[in-house]
């Protein structure tokens, strides 16, 4: 290789590690695919879960999944290429992050889908987006109410609340005639074994795409049991634009409160992902302008998503981990990932194929994801001193949140709106309890006890 070629190669390599760098297509594509593989399952699974709970038809399920992919792509591009720049903030962070449909909202969305419909979720999402926008504009004032102890408790509650969903899916889906059959459990366990093995023994792309590979293996096994019907794929079109207002939008006060609280929490939690990105790959903390722009963009993009049927999005921690590990920050790489997601979302046959994945396969693949969510919460909690005061906050908040929702009749004498806000998902009650306890319990409790 000539000196000129060597210099050009080094320049291209350097471009990968510069946010504004422009690596070649050949360099960017493998890294972009890596990001897509790491997040695509998590991106579409919440839509599949909510569609199943809401009893959507096959066609409407495809539209919901299609919207998930398209809106995730567009919200990612908004973060990578911020606009309406002012002295104080822009709409978008201008940081190398990936956005996707978030599991954080699944427990509350399930409850709303059972009680109401998709339109009610989307209406609550608009209110949540406005709340996130306000949080972004006032991040310095609000941030003190959400230390790692509180956000950790919330994330831990989210993980715990998703476990029954995973188990029901592993058994074949609660509405299935073959719920709990040995075939469902066998396929689910095989899928789980593959995912767990690759997570612990796999390297490189095998580890990053462990969930996707596990689903593929489980899908093949399910084929032999005759669990998969391809008729919907055959009838799906090759290209289709998202359908604005297909599900409609309904504003129901109690649902808006439940989702709005989660948006406030996730807006603050996004600070952690933005900070992990910059500290891990750029050797600095994010600026106030980047944080404000990122959260404002998060709020505005979710308002727009609701009109197109896209469920709530958030920053994806697994992609933050990839950026921090590889140090590749070029927005051309991340942008190419978003373009791949966008292309997938515009092809209904691809979205329809995803709806053919049996619930037992999804359950086997996602139970490890839900476990990881809970353990992420535990890590955040453990980052603060586990003294008597802090363990009381976490223990009481989780006990109240999980206890009330598991004893479903405990709020029977209250108005319906109370049950919708506090009795359907443990996350809201655990969040409120943790915040109040953190504000009222004396911080010198341990000292006084001695």
Token digits of residue 309: 């049927």
What's the residue count for the chain?
450
Could you tell me if residue 14 is inside a domain?
no
Token digits of residue 404: 């009330």
Q: What is the pLDDT of residue 444?
A: 67
Q: Where are the alpha helices (DSSP H) in 55-100?
A: 58-80
Could you tell me if residue 279 is inside a domain?
yes
Q: Which residue pairs from 285-292 have beta carbons closer than 8 angstroms and sit at least 24 positions apart in sequence?
A: 286/93, 286/95, 288/139, 288/140, 289/88, 289/89, 289/90, 290/93, 290/94, 290/95, 291/93, 291/136, 291/139, 292/88, 292/89, 292/136, 292/137, 292/139
Collect the ranges in the chain with pLDDT lower than 50. 1, 3-9, 447-450
- Distance between CA atoms of residues 250 and 253, nearest Å: 10
Q: What is the pLDDT of residue 235?
A: 72
Could you tell me if residue 97 is inside a domain?
yes
- Counting DSSP H helices and E strands in the chain, the numbers are 21, 2
Q: What is the pLDDT of residue 81?
A: 92
Q: What is the pLDDT of residue 25?
A: 86
Could you tell me if residue 61 is inside a domain?
yes
- Residue span of the structural domain in which 423 resides: 27-442
Token digits of residue 80: 């990578």
- CB burial of 226-251 (b: ≥16 within 10 Å; e: otherwise) equals ebbeeebbeebeeebebeeebbebee
Could you tell me if residue 18 is inside a domain?
no
- Distance between CA atoms of residues 151 and 172, nearest Å: 32
pLDDT (tens digit per residue) in 65-121: 889 999 999 999 999 999 877 776 678 889 999 998 887 888 889 889 988 899 999
Element (H, E) at 182: helix 182-201
The domain tally of the chain equals: 1
**295 within 8 A of 135, measured Cβ to Cβ:** yes
**95 within 8 A of 278, measured Cβ to Cβ:** yes
Could you tell me if residue 141 is inside a domain?
yes
Token digits of residue 230: 């391809």
Could you tell me if residue 340 is inside a domain?
yes
Q: pTM score, two decimals?
A: 0.76
Could you tell me if residue 145 is inside a domain?
yes
């Amino acid at each position: 290789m000539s000196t000129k070629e060597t210099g050009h190669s080094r320049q291209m390599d350097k471009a990968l590690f510069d946010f504004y760098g422009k690596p070649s297509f050949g360099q960017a594509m493998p890294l972009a695919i890596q990001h897509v593989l790491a997040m695509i399952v998590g991106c579409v699974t919440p839509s599949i879960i909510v569609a199943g709970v809401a009893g959507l038809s096959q066609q409407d399920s495809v539209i919901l999944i299609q919207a998930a992919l398209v809106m995730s792509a567009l919200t990612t591009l908004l973060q990578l290429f911020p606009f309406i720049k002012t002295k104080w903030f822009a709409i978008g962070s201008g940081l190398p992050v990936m956005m996707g449909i978030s599991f954080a909202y699944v427990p509350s969305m399930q409850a709303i889908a059972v009680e109401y419909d998709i339109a009610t979720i989307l209406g609550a999402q608009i209110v949540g987006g406005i709340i996130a926008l306000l949080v972004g504009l006032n991040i310095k004032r609000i941030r003190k109410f959400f230390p790692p102890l509180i956000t950790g408790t919330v994330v831990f509650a989210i993980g715990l609340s998703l476990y029954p969903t995973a188990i029901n899916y592993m058994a074949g889906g609660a509405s299935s005639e073959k719920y709990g059959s040995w075939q469902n459990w066998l396929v689910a366990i095989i899928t789980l074994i593959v995912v767990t093995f690759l997570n612990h023994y796999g390297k490189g792309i095998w580890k990053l795409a462990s969930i996707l590979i596990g689903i593929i293996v489980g899908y093949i096994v399910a084929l032999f049991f005759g669990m998969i019907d391809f008729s919907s794929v055959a009838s799906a079109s090759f290209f289709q634009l998202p359908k604005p207002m297909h599900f409609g939008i309904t504003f129901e006060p109690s649902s808006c409160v439940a989702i709005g609280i989660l948006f406030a929490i996730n807006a603050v939690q996004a600070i952690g992902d933005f900070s992990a990105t910059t500290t891990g790959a750029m050797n600095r903390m994010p600026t106030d302008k980047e944080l404000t722009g990122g959260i404002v963009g998060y709020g505005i993009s979710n308002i727009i998503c609701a009109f197109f049927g896209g469920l709530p999005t958030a920053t994806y921690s697994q992609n933050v981990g990839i950026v921090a590990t590889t140090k590749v920050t070029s927005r051309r790489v991340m942008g190419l990932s978003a373009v791949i997601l966008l292309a997938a979302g515009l092809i209904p046959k691809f979205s329809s194929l995803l709806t053919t994945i049996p619930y037992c396969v999804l359950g086997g693949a996602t139970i490890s994801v839900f476990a990881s969510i809970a353990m992420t919460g535990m890590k955040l909690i453990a980052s603060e001193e586990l003294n008597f005061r802090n363990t009381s906050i976490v223990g009481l908040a989780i006990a109240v949140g999980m206890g009330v929702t598991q004893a479903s009749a405990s709020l029977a004498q209250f108005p319906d709106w109370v049950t919708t806000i506090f009795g359907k998902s443990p996350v809201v009650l655990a969040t409120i309890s943790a915040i109040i306890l953190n504000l009222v319990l004396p911080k010198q409790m341990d000292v006084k006890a001695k």
